[in-house]
Structure 1
Amino acid sequence: MNRQQRIHLYDIQERSYTEGTVEQINDQWIFFDEETEEASMLEEFLHQEIEIFRMNRWKKGILYEPGNIRIGNEVTMLRDHDTVRIRKHLIYSLERLLDGINDDAFFQFVTTLNSLDFSIYDCIYCYNHLSFLSDENRKDGVNFMVFDNQELICNVQHHFYYYEKVNDRFEFTINTGKRLIIEKMIS
């Protein structure tokens, strides 16, 4: 798995965007989150990936100033009540953890999480013990993650041992009592 394949897995995740509409009120652009109905200043999302729904399709660009999206070499101006979606950010400790595990463990973890109807963007808590062991030859311990997809909660324990062998074990427990364990060992 190369970097591009990892990026593709990030791109196809459910709930990776916050969707809503925009309005210009008193010369300021306001974003209204469709799910929570909360309002926020669009300028909070400057220089972030944003998609606008025009002509029955999503067009991806970068919000480079409130009211203007750079799509390739073009600038598209927002209009009142445009539907937009803004790429969510991963919790920093989860992002570092995903970057730190090998490709096979990454793929197995993400696809298993997805098969349980959770997305990496559903993460509400991540303790990344691995990040504290960066200078050690032998690395072992446990990382803890909690995911909330608005219907269920999933707790994941990532047991790792990186020394003579590479061993990643993920224990998924959903609040319904369902449990799943996957393990990846490389000699």
Structure 2
Amino acid sequence: MPRFLSSPFFVVVFILFFAVSARATMFPDFRLNSEFSAQQAQTLGIPQTTKAFSPYDVKTDFLIVEIFSMYCPHCQRQAPIMNEFMKMLHQSSYADKFGVVGIGAGNSDFEVGIFRDEYKIDFPLISDEDFTAYTATGEHGTPHFFLIDMRNGKNRGAILYEHDGVFPDPKEFLDDILAETDLKK
């Protein structure tokens, strides 16, 4: 073994590198203007009077965020699959551990409302007309999903899982989500 590999300096640099790189990526904090029904507010654990939504206001153990656009044909195709996923989640023993919110990238309140009504979406959808959340989350294609750890502690806000594009099987998506948490053990 080369001598420099056993030097104390190299060992310290090696440990620091992996300690920093092992740290979870944190979901960005942002505020979006929005209004919620009593049921939506209760699901997210926030007051119904909330007018500016931040993902860090959510009082659930985990938050699933879907970035979508009403004009995206993939998002339109995803909507009934997402409704099936929500049905499965609500019927699971883990339903109270998750909040779900959709953020309409570049969409106005009116456009988000059309998408909600057309596809009968029952989880909160929020407009992001000026691309605040879309830009903050990395400008991914739509749909894009994040699973965020919202429990108190040093990992609050950690992105546990991401999925880019349509997921065809809601059961598989639920299994993938649960596998990234410590719930299904």
When you count helix as a share of all residues, which structure comes out higher?
2
User: Please, what TM-score do these two structures have when normalized by structure 1?
Assistant: 0.30
Q: TM-score, normalised by structure 2?
A: 0.30
Could you say which structure has the greater relative contact order, defined with CA pairs below 8 angstroms and 6 or more residues apart? 2
